[in-house]
Amino acid sequence: MFTRTTGWFIVPAWGLAMIWLLAHDVWPRWTAKDAPALKATEWLRKEGRQSQYDLEDEFGRFGSVWTEYQIDESSMSRSDLIWIFRAPPLLAGFAPVRIHVDSTYTGAGVLDEITMRVETPHADVELHGERFHSGYSFKLNSGAIERTLKVPIASGGAITGAFNPLSALTNLQVGDKWNMQVVNPIATVTGIGDPFIPLLIEVTGEERLSLPDGEHTCTVVEAKGVKAWIDSHGAVQKQELLLPLLGRLIIVRRGEFEETQRNQARSSPLNPRKSSPP
């Protein structure tokens, strides 16, 4: 009797759990739209081609990001240079770190190819991916180790690095959802964990954000552990994210683009004892 009675509760509970999982996890991913295409807007062509960001954590600034777009009639490209001069306590021995991310987009603004090179005092890692009909094919090279990775289009039409701000996003509507894959820098360097972190991005509303030139109404996009504020031009002004071992990070757009600092970050030695902010 006890077993039969218990079963009357377990079976409905299991069914409710499956319904909840379908409604809150599986169904949203199935119904997600294609990732927003990168648009060569007039603002991006004239004013948004170069951007600089500060990387911050609870202890203050620990790095910088320089982003530059190249636009022509048939394609677009994006180049990111990330310089991390201070690592969190759990990864103190890995700083400084220099990351180059080069992304190429089709004329329609769809990611076609991406290359990420991670340089540390101990090892260099390169991740290269190309888009094919059914998905992206990646090769991860770390010294003598080479791995092949696949990402289906449905799982990540947009792929970016963890320290890269989201690409310029336009024409967003509340309720829009799309799948994205974020490259996990810890996994690429240490081999611990999954190299890709899947995210379901959703446009959730609008918020007022204080920017250097005043208050602005920004569109808000969110995912598990991620929140970003995007202005009327499609530029990401602020982004918060939670990463394994790194904790909560903040990416904040600066009002100027310091070419001298970028050149210093490109040429600075990867010496832990001489690491300093450019």
Phi/psi for 90 (5° steps) reads -65, -20
Mean pLDDT over the full length of the chain: 81
Peptide bond into 152 cis (omega under 30): no
pTM of the model: 0.82
Among 38, 179, 36, smallest CA distance to 106 is for 38
- Which one has a higher pLDDT value, 99 or 122? 99
pLDDT band (50, 70, 90) for residue 12: very low
State the pLDDT at residue 26: 41
Q: How many angstroms separate the CA atoms of 174 and 43, rounded?
A: 22
Q: How far apart (Å, rounded) are the C-alpha atoms in residues 182 and 195?
A: 8
Residue showing tokens 């990867």: 270
At 228, list the tokens. 């970003």
Give bridge partners of residue 38 from the DSSP assignment: none
**CB-side neighbour CA atoms (13 Å) of 57:** 17
Could you tell me the two tokens for 185? 């820098």
pLDDT above 70: residue 174:
yes
Question: What tokens were used for 270?
Answer: 């990867």
Residues 6 or more apart whose Cβ sits within 8 Å of residue 129: 113, 114, 115, 136, 137, 138, 139, 149, 151, 159
Q: What confidence score (pLDDT) does residue 30 get?
A: 40
Cβ neighbors of 137 (< 8 A, separation 6 or more) are: 129, 130, 148, 149, 150
Residue 204: which pLDDT band, with cuts at 50, 70 and 90? very high
pLDDT of residue 9: 46
Domain parsing of the chain, residue ranges: 1-31, 42-267
* Cα(263)–Cα(13) distance, integer angstroms: 60
What contacts 116, CB < 8 A, 6 or more positions away?
A: 99, 100, 101, 126, 127, 128, 161, 183, 188
Among 219, 176, 218, smallest CA distance to 201 is for 176
Check residue 156 and give its pLDDT: 61
pLDDT band at 21 (very low <50, low <70, confident <90, very high): very low
The rounded distance, in Å, linking the Cα atoms of 194 and 177 is 23
Name the one residue in this structure whose structure tokens are 């504020």. 229
**Most confident option among 146-150, 168-172, 260-264:** 260-264
